[in-house]
Amino acid sequence: MRAFLRNWLLAFLMPFPLIGILFLPRYFRHWRRFQELSPGVRLSLRNAHPCLGDWVSSTPFDPHYFHQGAWLARKLKQRMPALHVDIGSSVLTMSVISAVTETVFLDYRPLQVRTANLHSVSGSITCLPFADLRLSSLSSLHVIEHIGLGRYGDPIDPDGSAKAAAELVRVLAPGGRLYISAPVGRERVCFNAHRVFHPDTLVDMFRPLVLETFSVVDDAGAVLADLPTSRAADLDYGCGLYVFVRNS
């Protein structure tokens, strides 16, 4: 009974609340057609697991997360670091880059999984368990905008993003590279989901690191590579992709 209720409730909540109601007639037409074509198979409501929102003409995806994962993987493939450390990025991205290089993944909510080349540890981005100037390859994608808003169980702190940036700067080694992504455009706090930064705010926040390259996923979901940060200032909710380097 619990699985039955869960399956039917989720059908009307995912991927968008209540939109599944529109697809119920089609669902039951398909049910009847399947039953007609397979009289030896008895379908039952108890075992049903309705998926009502997948009848779309193209595969849906989140442009920020799709493009930032591809961007990081390509950057790491170019440099092939012996060890890469990530702070709180998408676990799906970690599953990919760990196939390329030894990866340490740190998160406030540690990942409970075991797979080759991926080592998960618990920690906070505002108090990283690494020595000063130690890490030569470091990333944190779509993370810094959340720090201090309490969304993921972290303490409320209006300076959370700045403190996280200071920690990332502290641990980056001379000659090392830091890969950062965050929402950019019209600067604001969308409590308690995230912040949106003016693209130059993040450049200032990560000083004395030097901005090596800047790309952006724009409001239409397209990637614009190797731009001046000023090109992203008028966006509403873009995704800035930053590569910072600490000069030796």
Residue 137 domain flag: yes
Are 8 and 84 found together in one domain? Answer: no
Spatial separation of the C-alpha atoms in residues 145 and 195, rounded to whole Å: 5
Are 16 and 82 found together in one domain? Answer: no
Residue 56 domain flag: no
Residue 93 domain flag: yes
Peptide bond into 15 cis (omega under 30): yes
Are 14 and 87 found together in one domain? Answer: no
Residue 148 domain flag: yes
Are 78 and 141 found together in one domain? Answer: yes
SS (H, E, C) 146-200: HCCCCCCCCCCCCCHHHHHHHHHHHHEEEEEEEEEEEEECCCEEECCCEEEECHH
Spatial separation of the C-alpha atoms in residues 150 and 189, rounded to whole Å: 13
Q: How many domains are there within the chain?
A: 2
157: CATH: 3.40.50.150
Per-residue confidence (pLDDT) for residue 73, from 0 to 100: 97
pTM score, whole prediction: 0.89
Are 77 and 179 found together in one domain? Answer: yes
Are 145 and 178 found together in one domain? Answer: yes
Strands 223-224 and 238-245: unpaired
- Taking the CA atoms of 155, 157, 160 and 163 in sequence, report the sign of the dihedral they define: negative
Residue 119 domain flag: yes
Cα 218 to its chain centre, rounded Å, is 16
For 130-168, the pLDDT digits (tens) are: 999 999 999 999 999 999 999 998 999 999 999 999 999
* Residue ranges making up the domain that contains 147: 63-245
Give exposure, 191-212, as e/b (b: 16+ Cβ within 10 Å): eeebbbbbbbbbbebbeebebe
DSSP state of 22: G
Are 130 and 11 found together in one domain? Answer: no
CA atoms within 13 A on the CB side of 176: 22
Spatial separation of the C-alpha atoms in residues 72 and 244, rounded to whole Å: 13
What are φ and ψ of residue 189, in 5° steps? -110, 120
Are 104 and 220 found together in one domain? Answer: yes
Are 12 and 81 found together in one domain? Answer: no
For 187-243, the pLDDT digits (tens) are: 999 999 999 999 999 999 999 999 999 999 999 999 999 999 999 999 999 999 999
Are 29 and 81 found together in one domain? Answer: no
For 37-80, the pLDDT digits (tens) are: 998 999 998 898 888 878 888 998 999 999 999 999 999 999 99
